[in-house]
Structure 1
């Protein structure tokens, strides 16, 4: 907790303000470090963090742990939850933390003079004991951490689109090496192809006979 004011100041500088979720993120990161017996923020890449939503809470976790997307020590699996799993890549131990469902209401007891619920959360989250603010579970990842992180220098080329694939994210379909998009996992579609698909769908529609 002695590091909390300094870390909150750094987090606020990223957003030009401080909000309750930033406080949750910083507190969560520090508590995970205590549970795993790691000194945080880390100076190496021993801790790997998987956050379950983007936004202010994720930045709070990054400031507290020094795990960042750009350092390949933080991954976003967007479940829409202010929760995260912290993995000690040396020991393999992993702990998942989330705010207790009662945290919002309990925070008011720690900030009785707060002018609003938001203000009570902002102040209360800084004062509540870890065990009252968070629940945690020791967990096992469904994929080995080595596979999630991969190795530097691993590259492949998609046989369909020709784009480079890094970090062993390629998919094999028979003899083809494909990127995830070409393998059917794309989150986008090319605009011209979308229009063409719509036109083809219209031609097949019964109302198109009189077009």
Structure 2
């Protein structure tokens, strides 16, 4: 595995900037891979690892950089729990380790570098140097990764009987003879609601462009 500094440079490029959360994410992922004995997660060991992340913040981008796990590869799983934590699952052995950032690390950063007024800069410096035990809580856990959740899973592709949109990876429900996507089966629970009638905005093609203000 690359060095901490090298991985931080990659994380900064991928995320757009370097911050305390990025450093935590890189170190968390490095620790998870080390504990599982995965030395080359983006190369030789790339098919062994599935990672569950519990927050949609900076650390998640950093974890993806270190592990090579991506949503598009179906190797990164997001659980919106609002916690700076991740679980690393070794598919080859079934072992799984959950790592959570300790709240106490913020106070340790303040105590170690009280002369640094900027909180982010203070934490960035401390998080590079503090030992893993001062940054993270570790717990071996059991994770059941269902076949349909595995990278490379090939399930049937069907069309929703109501909206007609294609559905992959068994994400559908049967109602009698009908096959429904989750959105049509539970319209009150979907994250969007269709706009109709006067509530719907005009299409982009029908909106007039700005008028010329030249004299």
Query: TM-score higher than 0.5 here?
Result: yes
Q: Output the CA distance in 1 between the equivalents of 2:191 and 2:167.
A: 16
2:13 alignment partner in structure 1: 13
2:147 alignment partner in structure 1: 146
Q: Are residues 152 and 111 of structure 1, via their aligned partners in 2, closer, same or farther at CA, if it must alter by over 3 Å?
A: farther
RMSD: 2.3
1:186 alignment partner in structure 2: 190
Superposed CA offset, 1:28-69 (max 9, x none): 100000111111443222101111111211011011111111
Q: Output the CA distance in 2 between the equivalents of 1:122 and 1:152.
A: 42
Larger helix proportion of the pair: 1
Q: Are residues 193 and 101 of structure 1, via their aligned partners in 2, closer, same or farther at CA, if it must alter by over 3 Å?
A: farther
- State the shift of 1:79 in Å: 1.1
Q: Output the CA distance in 2 between the equivalents of 1:10 and 1:155.
A: 36
Q: Is the 8 A contact 2:15 2:62 kept in 1?
A: no
Aligned residues: 195
**Unaligned regions of 5+ residues in structure 2, if any?**
200-215
Q: Output the CA distance in 2 between the equivalents of 1:47 and 1:90.
A: 8
Q: Is the 8 A contact 1:89 1:145 kept in 2?
A: no
Q: Output the CA distance in 1 between the equivalents of 2:172 and 2:160.
A: 8
Matched position secondary structure for 1:69? coil
1:137 alignment partner in structure 2: 139
- State the shift of 1:173 in Å: 2.7
1:201 alignment partner in structure 2: none
